[in-house]
Amino acid sequence: MSIVTSRDGGVLIVVPGQRLDTNSAPEAEKRIASEIEQGETRILVDLGLTDYVSSAGLRVLLKATKQLKQVGGALALCNINPQLQEILDISGFAMIMPCYATVEEGLRSLRA
Amino acid sequence: MGIPEIEVDVVIPGQTRYLAMVGNIGEQIASAIDRYSGDRDLLAYSLNLALTEAVVNAIEHADPNGPEHKVHVHIRLADEDLRMTVCDQGHGFDLDTLPPPDLDDMLERGRGLFLIRNLMDSVASYRTPDGHVLEMTKSLG
């Protein structure tokens, strides 16, 4: 799995690969934790390339959300496929991690 | 009991490298079901996720001192009821003793079963002579 990061203003955009699951989650967790340790406080996770997120992937996102909250920051998700969005809504995870339709909307929210 | 429209029986090694394969079986079943009027893409994702999470649980609860760990997945669709069981020789767990899901405190345990419970109509856990079974059912009618 390859994770691509970029920066737009004060927001770090993280783009995971096709699957964020038990096998790929450790690398994603390490990468995001490293960014937070280096001072990132606002992270937008662009799931536009990600077909599948398991509970292990959700753990990575929840952990980052918690870590960022502790330093006054925030994490948001965007570009989520409709099936994953439905599952995030049903399970209540969307209430913990704000979800936006596009990168632009996510950036706008994190900069507000 | 009606004739099963679909029945799949598969045994995999208890290793995470097989998770995508098991999840793919769930997706293929969703695409193969006749007369389903709901959101087929959502069903495919849900079956993939529920099966994958159940197998992850089976792997995590494996007995490290036991024989080579295998996970038995059985899927049966009959009379518009989909029944999926995941059986392993591990320690298992008692669903009734699991704490209620707390979205703010799900970093360590319970996310997988929480998702399964949200995606399926019923979830049961029990022991048989062959091992621990997690049974998930969903009505497709």
**B-chain residues within 8 Å CB-CB of A59?**
106-107, 111
What pLDDT does B67 receive? 64
What pLDDT does B102 receive? 62
| Cα–Cα nearest to B12, from B88, B67, B90, B116 | B88
Residues forming a β-bridge with A42: A74
ipTM over cut 0.85:
no
What pLDDT does A67 receive? 93
- The residue-averaged pLDDT of B39-63 equals 92
Q: For domain B6-139, give the CATH superfamily.
A: Histidine kinase-like ATPase, C-terminal domain (3.30.565.10)
Confidence of residue B104 (pLDDT cuts 50, 70, 90): low
What pLDDT does A32 receive? 96
Residue B31, H or E segment:
helix B19-32
Picking from B45, B52, B107, the nearest residue to A87 by CB comes out as: B45
Nearest CA distance, B2 vs chain A (angstrom)? 31
Nearest CA distance, B31 vs chain A (angstrom)? 15
Q: Does B88 touch chain A (CB under 8 A)?
A: no
Burial (Cβ within 10 Å: 0-12, 13-18, ≥19) of residue B113: buried
- DSSP letters for A12-81: EEEE--SEESTTTHHHHHHHHHHHHHTT--EEEEE-TT--EE-HHHHHHHHHHHHHHHHTT-EEEEES--
Picking from B23, B39, B107, the nearest residue to A63 by CB comes out as: B107
- The residue-averaged pLDDT of A8-36 equals 95
Q: What is the pLDDT of residues B69-87, one digit of tens each?
A: 899 999 999 988 999 999 9
Query: Which has more confidence, A26 or B105?
Result: A26
| Number of other residues whose CB lies within 10 A of the CB of residue A73 | 18
Model confidence at A25: pLDDT above 90 = yes
What pLDDT does A45 receive? 98
Model confidence at B25: pLDDT above 80 = yes
Query: pTM (2 decimals)?
Result: 0.87
The domains of chain B are located at 6-139
Burial (Cβ within 10 Å: 0-12, 13-18, ≥19) of residue B89: buried
Cβ–Cβ gap B114/A90 under 8 Å? no
Distance from C-alpha of B58 to C-alpha of B32, rounded to nearest angstrom: 26
Distance from C-alpha of B23 to C-alpha of B20, rounded to nearest angstrom: 5
Model confidence at B98: pLDDT above 70 = no
Cβ–Cβ gap A83/B44 under 8 Å? yes
Q: Does A105 touch chain B (CB under 8 A)?
A: no
